[in-house]
Amino acid sequence: MKLSVPGRATGAATLAIAALLTTSAMADAAPARVAAAPDISVANVKAHLTQLQSIATANGGNRAHGRTGYKASLDYVKAKLDAAGFTTTVQQFTSSGSTGYNLIADWPGGDTNQVVMSGSHLDSVTSGPGINDNGSGSAAVLEAALAVSRTQYAPTKHLRFAWWGAEELGMVGSRYYVNSLSTANRAKISGYLNFDMIGSPNPGYFVYDDDPAIEKTFKDYFTGLGVATEIETEGDGRSDHAYFKSAGIPVGGLFTGASTRKTAAQAAKWGGTSGQAFDRCYHSSCDTTANINDTALNRNSDALAYAVWELSE
């Protein structure tokens, strides 16, 4: 859903008008190309969450590593990507005696020496369906990938999307992926963007403070919306970007908060309830489709798409 128009498109329109009003020399100096990121439909993101909830409900109430609900979640996401023209790969690993799976989706085209990668963990804990943690990131990354296909986006860089297994067991899937990359292939990843918990019911707007260029891209988007952000500090390194960062790959990401309580100052700028956790259902059976703040999910899904487009053109 569109909330407001951030910088680039407006700037380009202004430049285009300026070019029309001035000399041909000025017109020749007009910008070559601006690929505006699409507005991501929060209704589509929520439809994916409804499917992930149904999968959990049909599989003992969770989508955890080693349980049937995890593989069913992966099959759901993979089918959408295959139908949209992605090249998908399922990477298997073993953790705690069970087979785990990462799903990798490559969008054909772009310079494969410059890969912009976005990812989220698709597993839940065993105690609940994991809709905010991390259906939210998984559904938003899926919808951004589907938007790439719908718009037939042809960026300069190569786009790759990932859904990680066994994050809840210690970021096992993403560690396996990073460790399995050759040194040459690691060097080709220009950035990894991570989305873990982006629809918390009492949300904060947190941006990872890692690579400055990626951080700035996200902050610019929120500035355009008039929404204040803070640096993510609730257990830095507690998600799948950690092993990318250790391998020297620039990382960034978004987060709306887990079990930490919102302060009065945070409630003053973001609304919501001070003294209450950002997500009171964190790692609990109540992390259902009812445990999502639609505004936060919408803003973060749009910010995700904005960053994918901006960092890949």
- Residues contacting Zn ion: total by CB under 5 A: 1
Task: Of 72, 164, 169, 133, give the one whose Cα is nearest residue 286.
Answer: 133
Task: Of 199, 117, 127, give the one whose Cα is nearest residue 168.
Answer: 127
Residue 284 has which token pair? 């609990």
Residues 102, 104: Cα–Cα separation, whole Å = 6
Instruction: Pick the closer one to Zn ion by CB: 133 or 313.
Output: 133
258 contact, one of ligand TRP, Zn ion, none, CB 5-8 Å limit per kind: ligand TRP
Instruction: Pick the closer one to ligand TRP by CB: 133 or 313.
Output: 133
Is residue 176 within the footprint of ligand TRP (CB under 6 A)? Answer: no
Is residue 197 within the footprint of ligand TRP (CB under 6 A)? Answer: yes
Inter-CA distances, 62 with 123, 124, 159, 190, 262, Å: 9, 6, 30, 34, 27
Q: How far is the CB of 241 from ligand TRP (least distance, A)?
A: 8
- Counts of helices then strands in the chain (DSSP H, E): 11, 8
Binding mask 200-239 for ligand TRP (x = CB under 6 A): --------------------------------x-xx--xx
Is residue 77 within the footprint of ligand TRP (CB under 6 A)? Answer: no
Residues 28, 239: Cα–Cα separation, whole Å = 46
**Burial class, 108, CB count within 10 angstroms (exposed 0-12 / middle 13-18 / buried 19+):** exposed
Do 165 and 70 touch, CB atoms closer than 8 A? yes
255 contact, one of Zn ion, ligand TRP, none, CB 5-8 Å limit per kind: ligand TRP
Which of 133, 287, 302, 313 is close enough to bind ligand TRP by CB under 6 A? 133
Binding mask 122-161 for Zn ion (x = CB under 5 A): -----------x----------------------------
Task: Of 105, 53, 33, 64, give the one whose Cα is nearest residue 288.
Answer: 53
The residue ranges that bind Zn ion (CB under 5 A) are: 133
Residue ranges in contact with ligand TRP by CB under 6 A: 133-134, 167-168, 196-197, 232, 234-235, 238-239, 255, 258
Cite the active site residues. Answer: 167
